[in-house]
Structure 1
Amino acid sequence: MFFESFLLNLTVIIVLVVALIFDYVTKFFSYWYIRHIPYKTCVPFFGSDYHRVLGIRSNTDEVNKFYNDYPKEKFAGAVKSRIPDLIVRDPEAVKRMLSTDFANFHSRGLGLDKSQDVCLRNNLFYADGEKWTLLRQGVESLVKDMEWGKRDLNECLSGTNGDVIVQHLLSKVLDFIFRDLLVDDTDAAVITSLTSAAQNRSLAGKFKTYLKNVFPSLYELFGLKTLVGEPSKETVRALQHSKLLEKIKSGSVFQMGIKEKDRRNTNETDFAFSTLAMFVNEGYIPCLYLLTSMFYDLAKHPEVQKKVRQSVSNNDDKYLDAVIKESLRLHPSYSVISRQCVKMYQYPENKLVIDKKITLSIPVEAIHRDETYYEKPTVFNPERFLMNYDANNYFPFGVGPRKCVGENLAYQIIADVARNVLTHYEIQPCDRTPKSLPVSDFNFGRIVDQDIWLRFKPVTS
């Protein structure tokens, strides 16, 4: 004992413990101050992130607010719980860090390659380092053989007439497409079950997703799973006869994506399931979000819809291309890109030094809606993409070597669905159409979190 009095000793110990905890949680609160980066005042245990942690604002809304609060700055500083986060506002700085200096920012900082969740441990989106390089090469070779051509989707659209929930209609179409690309023409159940599980927004699912994204080490420690865990017997049977598994075997994707020492714990079917889950989470759901948003905007702008329909009917996709680009500008599926610094880095144009494990947030949606780069940025105006536009301020699929591996395939799918729908239907608002698009964050991306009713009126020839 330090003192004769037990209570005095207990008081000293409590004070020391509190002081140590306080020092731990506030250690980086002055990080941006000493680097002369504008920042938001921090609160112990929350950092500057309390609005998001308490559910007052989504991650996108929080990052967008930082972006708008410092209009003349290249960078703004935040602290997520206790880890400093740099909001990169300047598109040139974004390109510099994520492309030119990619070696410093190649990681997402999740480190889930040892997770018990089979959907994550061999997933390109969550991999880092050598494993990411191998998986990227493998998935690129896989996607290269999956080009989706112009196909008739009338089977999925047949009978559509009147007021419908647009997500339900689009899910039928995307089920058909992803089934055709990945599984078997006669087996849609595996796609349907995975997409339903991936979009599960139960309280437990939200909590596990939060741990996965914010505290991946705890997610891995407790052996949590956010999707469906191990593949079911039905899914295994479907995968064993799937196009995906055939391409994995014939294209050596499995050998390229999995290092020799890891193959003892992973078989080709598990790898195919993980790859299928990646296509659902990072392909199907973003396509569903983009198409829902695009049809909503077209219903609200009949003059634009008329132009794109006329263009498509004349076998000219130029205006359709402009519509898709404008939808991607206003509604990027990944509104915020996150990276982690893997080694100390100095930004070449000033004295800003970023330490290892500091995170970056790239506010894609905010940059796309900045009047500095786009005239009347909140207005749906595809015409802007018929003129010369600065591609340096436009990155809906990301930037640099880690940009979306399925960009071309996703674009083909979106264009084909839009072409088929607009050829056969005029889309109009109805009594149940919301005045604005209800959007929220989900996992790392964005979703429309309510049913969107629109009127589909068959086009008479």
Structure 2
Amino acid sequence: MFFESILLNAIVSIVLILALIIDYVTKFFSYWYIRHIPYKSSIPFFGSDYHRVFGIRNTTQEVNKLYEKHPKEKFVGYVKSRIPDLVVRDPDAIKKMLSTDFANFHSRGLGLDKSQDVCLRNNLFYAEGEKWTLLRKGLESIMDSFECDFGHSLHGCLSGTNGDANVQQLLSKVLDAIFKDMLLDSSSDATVITNIRSTVQRRPLVDRLKSYLKNIFPSLYILFGLVTVPEEPSNKTKKILEQSKLMEKIKTGSVFQLGIKEKEKRTVSEVEFAYSMLASFVTEGYVPCHNLLTSLLYELAKSPEAQQKVRLSEEYLDASIKEALRLHPPYSVITRQCVNTYNYDSSLLIDKRITINIPVDALHKDKIYYPKPEVFNPDRFLDNNNSNAHSFAYLPFGTGPRRCIGEQLSLQIVRRITSSILKQFEIEPCARTPQSLPVTDYNFGRVIDRDIWVNFKPIRT
């Protein structure tokens, strides 16, 4: 219907357009209400995610808040922008979705394997479908062939340490040498590893904005052609990669590389592929190991009794590593996208493309499973010391078929480094040691947000 007045027609048109927009952005606001799932209320254009979008809370804080607000519920709903998301609180439901019914939740739903960033495209963390299967098979063959004899590297990096020291700097020297020996060659220049690591670890404003887009609006990250690690390796890097152990392993396991080329229908040189693999080992292996070691040494420095027990017992060392992973998990939230309409125990229908969120950090700090969860207490991981803990309330490496492929290798590295440090040094807090470990979200994971200093006192033999 049209009116004689142009102004009236314009007003009616604007009202209709606004009504259509509001209807579009609020279409799913009642999604969880209809399903009788407790949920956080939404506002147009932001959904329930306004605290995170405006920077009031990060992802960990937002998910933990929802977890704590509904202690008796299995599920809590919210809306990200306009699309429903689900927080899964119940460990039995987590087991069923991520393990038993993995076929319905095998996708992360990020689409970042389509990014222009070659390092993301060939990163197992972001891969989907057949590409994920090929990459995982190839990486398993590479990792099974690693030789972890790095005693000489450890001794050289730790020699001369005495007094107050920056833990991250010391560990960077150690891990640079270890990853160089594993992936490149003992005679190679470690700056290849160092450069990728420093690029990933530094967090200027531009990189934080990239991380924000990658995490909350991955489609925009792809649309703008953003990259995290420089895509084109330098001539020096290419030469080192051509002669590296990693390249040798890639060539002998070229079946999965060729499969990926065919799947993507694009040509990828062996050097480019090796560079993307090297970046994956740094971002998904080196950096989490670095953060775990930093948090473990920090906690042991504050707990001399636990530190002494670690020196005397490998079992207590393993328990201490598990406790550090509980308190400071590398990933606070695991996300999966439902790929088929899914009926959970005939009580909840989840539509295709709905994302589920597993609140790892919140589960690790739940008093139901871990008494005094804020306390560093490795004893809880000794046999029969924590009978209340559900096996799916402890997920530092994820679970199911997408469980972290590098779990055993990373634990082996962390054991060797920690054991070597504690055999040579007593560590204790110093004037610059923070009262609590400052951890924040970055690139889907958790990072330590400032330099950590402790005192290294050589043990006289």
TM-score by length of 2: 0.96
Q: Describe the superposition over 1:163-211 as per-residue Cα deviations: whole angstroms up to 9, x where unpaired.
A: 1110000111110111111112232011000001111312111112222
Alignment match, 2:162? 161
The answer as to whether partners of 1:231 and 1:273 remain within 8 angstroms in 2 is: yes
1:311-343 CA-to-partner distances (Å, cap 9, x unmatched) read 3xxxxx111111111111111101110111111
Determine the structure 2 residue equivalent to 1:34: 34
20 and 255 in structure 1: CA distance in 2 versus 1, 3 angstrom threshold: same
Rounded to whole Å, the distance in 1 between the matches of 2:239 and 2:369 is: 51
CA distance in 1, matches of 2:274, 2:24: 42
| Change in 2 beyond 3 A, CA 1:2/1:226 | farther
The CA deviation string for residues 1-40 of structure 1, in whole angstroms up to 9 with x for no partner, is 8222221121122112211221121111111110111011
Aligned pair partner of 1:290 in 289, 292, 316: 292
Report matched runs for 1:191-270 at 5 Å: 191-252=193-254, 254-255=256-257, 258-262=260-264, 264-270=266-272
Which residue of 2 is the match for residue 174 of structure 1? Answer: 175
Shift of 1:299: 0.9
CA distance in 1, matches of 2:213, 2:160: 43
What is the CA–CA distance in structure 2 between the aligned matches of 1:268 and 1:216, rounded to whole Å?
27
- Structure 1 letter corresponding to 2:321: I
Q: CA RMSD in A?
A: 1.5
Q: Is the 8 A contact 2:134 2:256 kept in 1?
A: no
Question: How far apart, in 2, do the equivalents of 1:52 and 1:261 lie?
Answer: 36
Displacement of 1:56 in angstroms is 1.1
Equivalent residue of 2:208, what SS?
A: helix
Query: How far off its partner does 1:445 sit?
Result: 0.6
Contact 1:254/1:268 (8 A) holds in 2:
no
The structure-2 alpha-carbon separation of the partners of 1:261 and 1:396, relative to structure 1 and needing over 3 Å to count, comes to: closer
Aligned: 1:384 with 2:380: yes
**Cα distance, 1:261 vs. partner?**
4.7
Offset at residue 228 of structure 1 (A): 1.7
Matched, 1:92 2:92: yes
Q: Is the 8 A contact 2:261 2:268 kept in 1?
A: no
CA–CA distance in structure 2, aligned partners of residues 214 and 420 of structure 1: 40
Instruction: Report if aligned partners of 2:261, 2:267 keep a CA contact under 8 Å in 1.
Output: no
**2:339 is the alignment partner of 1:342:** yes
Displacement of 1:269 in angstroms is 1.4
Q: Counterpart of 1:181 in structure 2: which amino acid? A: M
Structure 1 Cα separation of the partners of residues 149 and 108 of structure 2:
33
In 2, Cα distance between the equivalents of 1:222 and 1:404?
29
Q: What is the CA distance between 1:234 and its match in structure 2?
A: 2.2
User: Paired residue for 1:108?
Assistant: 108
After superposing the two structures, state which structure 1 stretch, 189-198 or 387-396, moved more.
387-396
How far did 1:256 drift?
A: 6.0
Corresponding residue of 1:314:
none
**Superposed CA offset, 1:143-172 (max 9, x none):** 111252462411011111111110000111
Partners of 2:336 and 2:258 lie apart in 1 by 24
Offset at residue 355 of structure 1 (A): 0.6
**Residue equivalent to 1:10:** 10
Which consecutive unaligned segments of at least 5 residues does structure 2 have? Answer: none
Give the secondary-structure state (helix, strand or coil) at the position aligned to 2:112. Answer: coil
Shift of the 299–253 alpha-carbon distance from structure 1 to 2, 3 Å rule, reads farther
In the alignment, the residues of structure 2 paired with residue 18 and residue 147 of structure 1 have an alpha-carbon distance, to the nearest angstrom, of 63
> 350, 364, 367: which is aligned to 2:363?
367
Q: Deviations over 1:347-401 (max 9, x none)?
A: 02x4201111110110111111111111221111111111224433222100100
Alpha-carbon spacing, 1:301–1:256, altered in 2? closer, same or farther (3 Å): farther
Q: Distance in 2 between matches of 1:253 and 1:383?
A: 45
Note if contact 2:166-2:452 (Cα within 8 Å) is conserved in structure 1.
yes
CA contact (8 A) 1:118 1:230 kept: no
Is 1:352 aligned to 2:348, yes or no? Answer: yes
Flag the 1:327–1:256 CA change in 2: closer, same or farther, 3 A. farther
Structure 1 vs Structure 2: percent identity of aligned residues? Answer: 65
Question: How many Å separate the matches in 2 of 1:113 and 1:57?
Answer: 28
1:149–1:412 CA contact under 8 A, matched in 2: no
Kindly report which structure 2 residues correspond to 1:273-352, keeping only aligned pairs within 5 A, or say none: 273-311=275-313, 317-348=314-345, 350-352=346-348
Give 1:254 shift.
4.2
The two structures have a TM-score, normalised by structure 1, of 0.96
Moved more, 385-394 or 448-457: 385-394
- Which residues in structure 2 correspond to 1:45-60 (within 5 Å)? 45-60=45-60
Tell me the secondary structure at the aligned position of residue 77 of structure 2: strand
C-alpha contact 2:94 2:392 (8 A) present in aligned 1: no
Distance 1:15 1:164, change over 3 A: same
Give the distance between the partners of 1:253 and 1:53, measured in 2 at CA.
43
Q: Cα offset for 1:46?
A: 1.4
Q: Distance in 2 between matches of 1:58 and 1:161?
A: 37
1:225-271 per-residue CA deviation (whole Å, 9 max, x = no partner) reads 12223222222222111111110111225436515253642122111
